[in-house]
Chain A
Amino acid sequence: MYPAHMEESIRKVEATRERRLKESLLRLGDEQKTPLLQRYHPDYVAGKMRQLALGPNKGDYTPDEVADLLEGNSCLDPDKIDLGRVDYDVDVLVIGGGGAGATAALLAQENGAKVLLTTKLRLGDCNTVGAQAGTQAADRPNDSLAIHYLDTMGGGHFANVPELVEALVKDAPMVIKWLGTLGVNWDKMADGTMHELSGGGASRLRLHSARDYTGLEEMRVLRDEIRNRKIDYLEFSPAVELLMDDKGQVCGAVLVNLETNELTMVRAKSVVMATGGMGRLHIQGFPTTNHYGATADGLVLAYRVGAQLIFMDTMQYHPTGAAYPMQILGQLVTEKVRSLGAQLVNVDGEQFIMPLEPRDVVAAAIIRECQERQKGVKTPAGQVGVWLDSPMIDMLRGEGTVARELPAMVRQFGRFNIDIAREPMLIYPTLHYQNGGIKINTEGATTVPGLFAAGECEGGVHGSNRLIGNSTLDIFVFGRRAGRAAANWSKEVKSGSLTLEHVRCWQKDLERAGLSKLRPVSPLLLPDYARPIPDYLPDYSAQALTAHRIKLT
């Protein structure tokens, strides 16, 4: 049910639908894409990025919100921490309990390591559970690793690290099989053929899905397997600093109990960083699809021990975040809706972009349609958006397709009396994915010895724009590789004695860069949505509170 003025626009969408069923817009060439991106994509908005003042990527541009945290100060006072007291002594510490972390933990254990996994919220509270559309792997006869490679490079504007893309596409079919063996229910036909969908920027049908609960299905299974294999894990215990040894190797981490502020010291021969993305930094004020704990912590921790980052100037804005109703503002409307045939249309019911262009291109086109051309639809809450014409799906593929293929979407909109099989959805771009991250090699090793990284917190695989289905692939491919490599590293390495000297050095560097005073304390851990407290009360909320509380310990 939409307000009257929106219903009016829907009538126009309905009026053009018959014609549009047969209308297909052409894909844009490079000469059209480049100016579109440069004028309308948020990555190119002047004045919203700045150069980092210190650290391994000094001089590189990154959004202000990210720079604030990367240039932040530690919440620990190295002089007050007793490094003689070690609570856990393990081979591999995995930081992050999403898809990449769970995978790394399983593989590290399989390779003989004693593993501890620690995570910020519950095991499996992460971006992985939100993944709806699917996971790519070139396993159909008319597809090949080369085509998957080409699609991925093209989607990433050819900036991707070639060796990483090679690893990604090469491991993909094996990863799909591995997950199946663990009991993931892939959508299949009766004869076992995978039911695969097309996705933006992919030139073959290559998306393996589990209804529109793909990531949830993957994560439920991995979480259960971690439990079955009795791998130790800690919840509500985010890492707030890495530990090093006197030989410059990463050697564990300091964790904080989010509820009691107690510190836990973990000594580990190697660490796998798997902390996911940063949507909750709300870059440029965009809403986000990300989970509550997506605050770039892993980048901050890795950066402070000297790990290089890569592609930190590019974020992914998913073209289709919900713009109405307000209760689900910014939440993901899966790309699968477009894969199944829904078009994007403006207030007059006209198409303006081929719906399966890469994400950055579609997002830029929607922003242009709403901002410059003023062809968006305004909601009562003041949000603008364009229509995603979902009723086309049943017309194209038969009655019942929407209900069968998109149960999560049907449920989400059904709560607000919107039947997406009959009515379109109003959408606008939303902050979705961190394209860049910690620089890794094909085994997940970072530029700092003893530190490995996997999943959304690492960068290079996707260049400056990720394709749908390549991230849930990335987390398994590199989660497996990093887990294995970390286990092997732990067998060989001779660790020295623990130190927080790097924190002292960082604080000196801050001072030298003229940044020592009034730095935000990082990592952020959680965003602050609690209503601001009036001025006359002490600032007990949010970041101030986190900083304050952790400082106490």
Chain B
Amino acid sequence: MAESARMVDIHVMGKHYQVPEGLTIMTALEYCGYRLIRGCGCRAGFCGACATIYNFKNDHQLRYDLACQKTVEQDMYLVQIPFFPAAKAFYSLEEIEATGEQVLSLYPDLVKCFGCNTCTKTCPQKLEVMWYMSDALRGDIRQVSAKSFDCVMCGLCAARCPQGLVPYNVALLCRRLYGRYLAPVSRHLEDRIAEIEAGRFDDDLEKLKKMDVRELRRLYAGREIEPAN
């Protein structure tokens, strides 16, 4: 960080710090001297560990984001949400059915959603959380899966839902149901597994394993390469 970098004022849990502009919320915390244990995982926007709530000195509207992805701005007031207790249904996937009734029986509180849209406004992934919750209520498992797919399970929607619902766990149930029961079966995968079990590739592999490196190299260099699709 060049000495000449412009500094911005931020407030961490109410305490004032100056940090160079261009840092993420996460690296700004570290610049302030915090050594993170909670609230820091992949540092790349995939794990949802770093859910953050913030507003500004003169704008009290709450905003939500991932600390590892969001750049600090002048006069930000920051709070990290290191953990949020969220209800989860326990189930054995092989013993349940991919139906709307099933989803509702595992998450009966779904009916309490009154469509306030707070969850959607909260989501740092910009998902249509309220819409997938209403899809879940209607039993459209496929739609829930599609709309919730990019969920990093950061917990912000659940933290803010006035009805105490946990959209991301409902979505996870629906995606698992979809993946196991509703997605079309891959014939070629089943066929290949049967071939492997019948030992169809054993001789080839045995030969390759014993082959000397020079011969392997030759085969490798001459192998046919399928064009990208």
- Taking beta carbons and an 8 Å cutoff, which residues of A are in contact with B? 27, 29-30, 121-122, 124-127, 129-130, 137-142, 144-147, 149-151, 153-154, 158, 162-163, 166, 169-170, 173-174, 176-177, 180-186, 188-194, 196-198, 203-205, 210-211, 213, 215-217, 220-221, 224-225, 227-228, 230, 236, 258-259, 289, 291-292, 325-328, 331-332, 339-341, 356, 381, 407-408, 411-412, 415, 526, 528-531, 533, 541-542, 545
Rounded to whole angstroms, the CA-CA distance of A339 and B226 in the bound complex is 12
- B228 surroundings in chain A (CB, below 8 A): 197-198, 205, 339-341, 356
Contact of B46 with A by CB under 8 A: yes
Other A-B contacts than A185-B175, A185-B183, 12 sampled, CB-CB below 8 A, are: A146-B205, A149-B208, A163-B209, A173-B192, A177-B189, A183-B175, A192-B184, A210-B149, A216-B47, A228-B92, A228-B93, A331-B43
A540 — nearest CB in chain B belongs to which residue?
Answer: B35
A291 — nearest CB in chain B belongs to which residue?
Answer: B42
- B125 surroundings in chain A (CB, below 8 A): 411
With A138-B192, A150-B223, A292-B41 as given contacts, are A221 and B176 in contact (CB-CB < 8 Å)?
yes
Contact of B7 with A by CB under 8 A: no
Rounded to whole angstroms, the CA-CA distance of A271 and B219 in the bound complex is 40
CB pair B192–A292 under 8 Å, yes or no, is: no
With A29-B221, A216-B46, A292-B40 as given contacts, are A204 and B145 in contact (CB-CB < 8 Å)?
no
Contact of A185 (CB < 8 Å), options: B70, B92, B145, B217: B145
22 A-B contact pairs sorted by A residue (CB < 8 Å):
A121-B41, A139-B189, A150-B219, A150-B223, A153-B208, A154-B220, A158-B213, A174-B196, A181-B180, A182-B179, A184-B179, A185-B183, A192-B184, A194-B189, A217-B175, A225-B93, A328-B69, A331-B43, A331-B44, A332-B44, A411-B125, A526-B37
Rounded to whole angstroms, the CA-CA distance of A225 and B22 in the bound complex is 39
CB distance from A371 to the nearest CB of B (A): 22
CB distance from A328 to the nearest CB of B (A): 8
Stretch of B26-34, B52-60, B113-121, B131-139 lying at the A interface: B26-34
A289 — nearest CB in chain B belongs to which residue?
Answer: B44
With A162-B209, A170-B205 as given contacts, are A150 and B216 in contact (CB-CB < 8 Å)?
yes
CB pair A545–B35 under 8 Å, yes or no, is: yes
Contact of B15 with A by CB under 8 A: no
Rounded to whole angstroms, the CA-CA distance of A462 and B22 in the bound complex is 38
**Which residues of B (82-123) have their CB < 8 Å from a CB of A?**
88, 90-94
- A230 surroundings in chain B (CB, below 8 A): 90
CB pair B196–A145 under 8 Å, yes or no, is: yes
**Which residues of B (188-211) have their CB < 8 Å from a CB of A?**
188-193, 196, 201, 204-205, 208-209
CB distance from B181 to the nearest CB of A (A): 9
Rounded to whole angstroms, the CA-CA distance of A295 and B208 in the bound complex is 36
Contact of B224 with A by CB under 8 A: yes
CB pair B45–A408 under 8 Å, yes or no, is: yes
- B217 surroundings in chain A (CB, below 8 A): 30, 154, 158
Contact of B225 with A by CB under 8 A: yes
Contact of A292 (CB < 8 Å), options: B31, B42, B176, B223: B42
Contact of B23 with A by CB under 8 A: yes
CB distance from B38 to the nearest CB of A (A): 8
Contact of A173 (CB < 8 Å), options: B40, B44, B196, B226: B196
Contact of B12 with A by CB under 8 A: no
Contact of B178 with A by CB under 8 A: yes
With A150-B219, A327-B71 as given contacts, are A186 and B183 in contact (CB-CB < 8 Å)?
yes
Rounded to whole angstroms, the CA-CA distance of A531 and B47 in the bound complex is 24
Rounded to whole angstroms, the CA-CA distance of A217 and B153 in the bound complex is 11
With A205-B229, A289-B44 as given contacts, are A146 and B33 in contact (CB-CB < 8 Å)?
no
Rounded to whole angstroms, the CA-CA distance of A71 and B185 in the bound complex is 51
> Most chain-B CB neighbours within 10 Å: which of A129, A205, A227?
A129
Contact of A541 (CB < 8 Å), options: B35, B94, B149, B179: B35
CB pair B196–A170 under 8 Å, yes or no, is: yes
- B22 surroundings in chain A (CB, below 8 A): 325-327, 381
CB pair B90–A228 under 8 Å, yes or no, is: yes
Contact of B49 with A by CB under 8 A: yes
Contact of B187 with A by CB under 8 A: yes
Contact of B172 with A by CB under 8 A: yes
Rounded to whole angstroms, the CA-CA distance of A180 and B228 in the bound complex is 25
CB distance from A230 to the nearest CB of B (A): 8
- B145 surroundings in chain A (CB, below 8 A): 185
Contact of B186 with A by CB under 8 A: yes
Contact of A327 (CB < 8 Å), options: B23, B92, B179: B23
- A225 surroundings in chain B (CB, below 8 A): 93
CB distance from B100 to the nearest CB of A (A): 17
CB pair A186–B69 under 8 Å, yes or no, is: no
Rounded to whole angstroms, the CA-CA distance of A331 and B193 in the bound complex is 36
CB distance from B168 to the nearest CB of A (A): 9
CB pair B42–A129 under 8 Å, yes or no, is: yes
7 nearest interchain CB pairs?
Answer: A183-B176, A192-B184, A125-B41, A154-B220, A183-B179, A145-B201, A146-B204
Rounded to whole angstroms, the CA-CA distance of A145 and B197 in the bound complex is 12
Contact of A529 (CB < 8 Å), options: B27, B149, B216: B27
CB distance from B71 to the nearest CB of A (A): 6
Rounded to whole angstroms, the CA-CA distance of A528 and B30 in the bound complex is 9
